[in-house]
């Protein structure tokens, strides 16, 4: 039985749905892993809200819902987020309705969120499965960040410092995976999710 504690109410649901938190620093390969996992029609990924500007190729409502800070703050005040956090100067949040819809439809829903948001979900939804993804070592992590070429050096440096902090939280997760080879990491997660 799934129990979701939210705003003083507890929503209980059957066994089929799964909420899967996936965290990991930029460069851990988390986005690539989620892309492969969501090729499986049983798996959906939550579309978060963010105040960050879209990168090249990112579409509103697909990768993220891109909104202004004032709009984000309005949604916070209206309790529309089940969790939200600031990451490198921008706000990111998961809407309550996304989660409720996934529970109702008994879906496997991936939340690819940062460690601060993940801790909030773990607290509110103890049955959620949490997975932390890491790169094999710091050099690989930095190289992957640089190879993305979408951020300038100052942003990469900032994200690297945040990455080191995030790694300290990996002990709070149910599973920690080292993403050396993408296919192996995906297989490992599929195993965890009994797919």
Would you tell me which residues interact with ligand 5GP (CB under 6 A)? Answer: 26, 48, 52, 83, 85, 87, 92-94, 112-114, 116-117
Shortest Cβ 87–ligand 5GP spacing (Å): 4
CB of 164 to ligand 5GP, least distance (A): 13
Nearer to ligand 5GP, 15 or 152 (CB): 152
Distance, in Å, from the CA atom of 158 to the CA atom of 73, rounded to the nearest integer, reads: 24
Closest distance of CB 7 from ligand 5GP, Å: 18
Q: How far is the CB of 96 from ligand 5GP (least distance, A)?
A: 12
How far is CA 174 from each of CA 23, 41, 43, 105, 171, rounded to the nearest angstrom?
11, 24, 19, 24, 8
Tell me which residue of 98, 108, 135 sits closest to 44, measured CA to CA.
108
Dihedral sign (CA 65, 117, 150, 88): positive
Nearer to ligand 5GP, 155 or 178 (CB): 155
- CB nearer ligand 5GP, residue 16 or residue 55: 55
CB of 90 or CB of 138, closer to ligand 5GP: 90
d(CA 113, CA 84): 9
What tokens does 133 get?
């993804």
């Amino acid at each position: 039985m799934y129990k979701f504690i939210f705003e003083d109410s507890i929503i209980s649901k059957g066994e089929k749905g799964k909420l899967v938190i996936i965290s990991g620093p930029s460069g851990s390969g988390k986005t690539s892993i989620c892309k492969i996992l969501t090729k499986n029609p049983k798996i959906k990924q939550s579309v978060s809200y963010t105040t960050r500007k879209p990168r090249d190729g990112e579409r509103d409502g697909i990768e993220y819902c891109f909104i202004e800070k004032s709009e984000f703050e309005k949604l916070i005040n209206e309790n529309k987020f089940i969790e939200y956090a600031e990451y490198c100067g921008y706000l990111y949040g998961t809407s309550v309705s996304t989660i409720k819809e996934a529970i109702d439809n008994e879906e496997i829903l991936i939340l690819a969120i940062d460690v601060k948001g993940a801790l909030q979900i773990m607290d509110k939804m103890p049955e959620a499965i949490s997975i932390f993804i890491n790169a094999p070592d710091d050099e690989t992590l930095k190289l992957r960040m640089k190879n993305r070429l979408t951020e300038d050096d100052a942003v990469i440096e900032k994200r690297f410092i945040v990455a080191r902090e995030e790694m300290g939280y990996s002990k709070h997760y149910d599973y920690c995976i080292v993403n050396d080879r993408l296919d192996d990491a995906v297989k490992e997660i599929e195993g965890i999710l009994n797919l």
